Amino acid sequence: MSKPISTSSEWTFDLIQRYDKEISVIAEDFKLDTYRNQIEIISSEQMMDAYASVGMPIGYNHWSYGKQFLGVEQGYKRGQMGLAYEIVINSDPCISYLMEENTMMMQALVIAHACYGHNSFFKGNYLFRTWTDASAIIDYLVFAKNYIAKCEEKYGVDAVENLLDSCHAIMNYGVDRYKRPYPLSQHEEEARQKEREEYLQQQVNDLWRTIPIDGIDKKEEQSRRVPEEPQENLLYFFEKHAPLLEPWQREVVRIVRKLAQYFYPQKQTQVMNEGWATFWHHSIMNEMYDRGLITEGFMLEFMQSHSGVIYQPSFNSRYYSGINPYTLGFNMMQDIKRICQNPTDEDKQWFPEIAGSDWLTTLDFAMRNFKDESFILQFLSPKLMRDLKLFCILDDDKNQTIDVAAIHDESGYRIVREALSAQYNLSNREPNIQVYSVAVRGDRSLTLHHTRHNRMPLELKGADEVLRHIHRLWGFDVHLYSVDDGDVKQDFHCPEPIVQVPMAQTS
Amino acid sequence: MSYVVDRRLNSKNKSTVNRERFLRRYRGHIKKAVSDAIDKRSITDLDSGEKISIPSKDVSEPTFSHGDGGRRDRVLPGNEEFVSGDKIKRPQGGGSGGGSGSGASDSGEGDDDFVFQITQEEFLNFMFDDLALPNLVKRQLAGDEEFKYHRAGISNEGNPGQVNIVRTLKSANARRIALTGKKRKKLRALEARLEEITPPANELDEAEADTLRDEIEVLRKKIKAVPWLDDFDVKYNLQVKHPVPRSRAVMFCIMDVSGSMDQATKDVAKRFFLLLYLFLQRNYDKTEVVFIRHHTSAKEVDEQEFFYSRETGGTIVSSALKMMDEIIKDRYPASEWNIYGAQASDGDNWNDDSTHCHKLLIDNIMPAVQYFSYIEITPRDHQALWHAYEEVQKAFPDAFAMRHLVTAADIYPIFRELFQKKAA
């Protein structure tokens, strides 16, 4: 047994180094593969700043970040909320912020959680590997901030702010799910930006070309649909095709789109990412205790903090606000380890592949190859459903009552699991809205379709307002039809039609 | 090995710009909140920060989201009682009975107001936003305090801090070329000759070579003796002092403290002057304030006494105006000062005195001042003083303003009216 690293709750830089060293040794024993770490100690004001800019170290200016900041500040000063203990950025080196107010225990916990947990997740998970480029993000943010500041100088703060407002409103519809962006550094980005401005403008002109192109039959040309396929990436569509945008405006649309793209994996792996980091800080701290590196007092303080993080109020509690991703993720990770190490008959029947396998390998596999939705579908065990007492309700406006569709019993496991998995499916959470057509030869109006999922309508006020933003980007009339099974159920127009126009054909 | 950095001394307040952007965007809301706050505040804490509350719907950022209706499954934790097939009554009022479960979308901010704090600085900014002293004339005053320096070319004299290095070296270079040109030419010729006869073919050449060497040596020494930098090479940037025209202003605050002014009325008057005082302090560097309180006689007092003294008596308004006139003549010549007056009273005055006031204003005060505002705080009908002042207003429609107010709530709006910034 070695001597504990420290016994007091005060931290020093020297202690942080020593804890980090020990934690990195343990992380290596557990085969965690990470980017290099950069640990930054910051004050609580700086944490509020970081918080307000969606956790990014550099960001362009926008009033909404100011709003976020004022909100956080108010909550924090009044003691209504604690600040996050840490913020970690998916970059290489991986930057983690530690707050100076933390105790030594919290600093160690955060190092284990962020520097080795989140960090290895960023490096390993396929979504992050596919969609983000850890080495280029900081550069890109610098480029974006400078570019937008220049635009503000040139075109005025209001013009830029309005444009950003509109882009933010459809940020969720700025993600390309199928194409992988390739990383660019800041310099390349700047060099290309000029080229792109000219090129894009040409492309736009191409779409709006009125002179028939040689070699294309006139008839065929007339019936050519624009776009040929519905487009789900609205920001991309506007960047490429909005007729009236200036080159700089296209670039701003692109910047917002790139950010949306960067955050896209985070949105889809919240349960896994937090579960993974929580699982590892738990394992590492316990290991440190076993190795005699930390004291019992330290461990007690840790357990208290840890159990706070994974607390899950019941659905009927006044503190209930949805399923806590930390709880679900942490428990699933623990459960996978248990199934590997001590499988029951039930486990063997449900998870023949992994029951009794090497837990480190299995857990690593799970971390790398799934997102929340598929992870739950693959690994949520009957035992965990029982432990969390999960049940599924069906809320259908055609029924008089809300029905309990399934509970944590033999007949319910699969239903509950599928329903929970679906709950993390982004396309269930966000309305499915796509660019349907553009009247290239007519009034240049843009038609969007909302394809209803389970008959769920669009929320009216939000849809109206977002449509106004879309109108700002598009520059001509915009129509949105909410379609269920081929029938138009709701329609929105911007600008509002003066006379009620008959509903458009949707076939 | 991780790299640990101490960032605590790095810039804080990275969000300042974003914060300002937010305040700018919600200016209208905040101004209203500030104005409401002023009415409610006590006199002593007019200049602190304020909690601002904006309806959530106004600050929310719109997104597409699902409305009520349709069919949705939801998984919840903590089941103690249900078995599958149970029917639960739909909660009232919520259509699909949202709960805050899976539907926790970005717009899930609830209906609470968005509440935040603005600082004292920001509070005052909003409070006096768009206000200005009317008719502030920039009078050219070769005052003794403010100067600006302008560059005015190059000079041969100056202090070492102003040395213009480029010009100095250029000048030194020119001098050196001028002084050594002849010698260099000669030197080149001698060197060429020396080259020609090296190695020496005969004794004669050898002798010549020696002479040449000596001469070259001497020339080189002479060239070297020309100083690299001479005193008169040094050039200085010339800076000239220009007096900066500056506006000087003085504000006369005249408050009636007679017996008829009850505590509530005095409070209103004081609030008005406090607002004015804060406004001047904040927006104008070089503004002096003269406080005059009067009952039957007027007295110039300091700020402390003006706001907090309790002395009282009958009313002779003209005493104060007379004093103002004297002080102007004495200390603030109208040719040099922008003069302002603000008077608050309940309108009660000694029998004949209002005509005196009228005369004093028309003959002496109004010609000297830029702007004079009078507020009358009374729930009663107007009396002689008000009517006398109405005459003044007719005579000086641009420079004289009068308002009637009853309660504290009227102060701020009227204050804003009186000091609204006008397009020049």
Give the 3-state secondary structure of A263-305.
Answer: HHHHHHCHHHHHHHHHHHHHHHHHHHHHCCCCCHHHHHHHHHH
List the single residue in A52, A457, A466 with the smallest CB-CB distance to B18. Answer: A52
pLDDT tens by residue, A385-436: 999 999 999 999 888 899 999 999 999 999 999 999 999 988 788 999 999 9
Which DSSP string corresponds to A83-143? PPSEEEE-SSSEEEEEETTS-HHHHHHHIIIIIIIIHHHHHH-HHHHHH--TTTHHHHHHH
Residue B420 has pLDDT above 60, yes or no: yes
- Extract the tokens encoding B304: 């402390």
Residue B101 has pLDDT above 50, yes or no: no
pLDDT tens by residue, A212-222: 555 545 555 55
**Residues B103 and A60: beta-carbon distance below 8 Å:** no
Mean pLDDT calculated for residue range B253-273: 85
pLDDT tens by residue, A275-295: 999 999 999 999 999 999 999
Q: What residues contact A462, with CB distance under 8 A and at least 6 apart?
A: B62, B63, B64, B65, B107
Three-class DSSP category at B76:
strand
pLDDT at A319: 86
**Quick one: what percent of chain B has pLDDT higher than 90?**
10
The pLDDT mean for chain B works out to 81
Select from B416, B128, B411, B127 the least CA-distant residue to B271.
B411
The reply to whether residue B77 touches residue A315, judged by beta carbons under 8 angstroms, is yes
Bridge partners, A395 (sequence order) = B72
pLDDT at A380: 96
pLDDT at A504: 53
**Residues of chain B neighbouring A13 (CB-CB closer than 8 A):** 4, 6
- A186 pLDDT band, cuts 50/70/90, is low
**Residues of chain B neighbouring A81 (CB-CB closer than 8 A):** none
Q: What residues contact A177, with CB distance under 8 A and at least 6 apart?
A: A232
Mean pLDDT calculated for residue range B357-377: 90
Instruction: Tell me the C-alpha distance between A260 and A263, whole Å.
Output: 5
pLDDT at B283: 76
pLDDT at B423: 57
Select from B403, B281, B261 the least CA-distant residue to B342.
B403
pLDDT tens by residue, B45-79: 666 777 888 887 778 889 999 988 888 889 999 99
- B108 pLDDT band, cuts 50/70/90, is very low
**Quick one: what percent of chain A has pLDDT higher than 70?**
88
Helices (H), B26-110: 27-40, 56-59
Residue A183 has pLDDT above 90, yes or no: no
pLDDT at B145: 59
pLDDT at A368: 96
pLDDT at A502: 55
- Extract the tokens encoding A367: 């971390």
Residue that wins the pLDDT comparison between B47 and B28 = B28
The DSSP 8-state label assigned to residue A173 in this structure reads G
- A334 pLDDT band, cuts 50/70/90, is very high
Residue B350 has pLDDT above 60, yes or no: yes
pLDDT at A143: 92
pLDDT at A49: 81
The reply to whether residue A396 touches residue B70, judged by beta carbons under 8 angstroms, is yes
**Residues of chain A neighbouring B87 (CB-CB closer than 8 A):** 400-404
Least confident of A472-486, B96-110, B248-262: B96-110
pLDDT tens by residue, A110-167: 999 999 999 999 999 999 998 888 888 888 888 999 999 999 999 999 999 999 999 9
pLDDT at B28: 84
Residue that wins the pLDDT comparison between A194 and A165 = A165
Residue A361 has pLDDT above 50, yes or no: yes
The reply to whether residue A459 touches residue B77, judged by beta carbons under 8 angstroms, is no
Greatest mean pLDDT among A82-91, A160-169, B383-392 lies in A160-169
The reply to whether residue A71 touches residue B20, judged by beta carbons under 8 angstroms, is no
Mean pLDDT calculated for residue range B293-322: 86
- Extract the tokens encoding B400: 């004289």
Mean pLDDT calculated for residue range B241-252: 75
Residue B100 has pLDDT above 50, yes or no: no
Residue B102 has pLDDT above 50, yes or no: no
- The torsion angles phi and psi of B373, rounded to 5 degrees, stand at -120, 140
Residue that wins the pLDDT comparison between A152 and B29 = A152
- B96 pLDDT band, cuts 50/70/90, is very low
pLDDT at A362: 96
pLDDT at A443: 85
The reply to whether residue A396 touches residue B105, judged by beta carbons under 8 angstroms, is no
- B95 pLDDT band, cuts 50/70/90, is very low
Q: Mutate which of B13, B63, B114 to test chain A, going by most A C-beta atoms within 10 A?
A: B63
Q: Which residue of A has its CA nearest to B61?
A: A169
Q: pTM of the full predicted structure?
A: 0.73
**Residues of chain B neighbouring A38 (CB-CB closer than 8 A):** 2-3, 5
Residue A81 has pLDDT above 60, yes or no: no
The pLDDT mean for chain A works out to 87
Q: What residues contact A138, with CB distance under 8 A and at least 6 apart?
A: A57, A58, A91
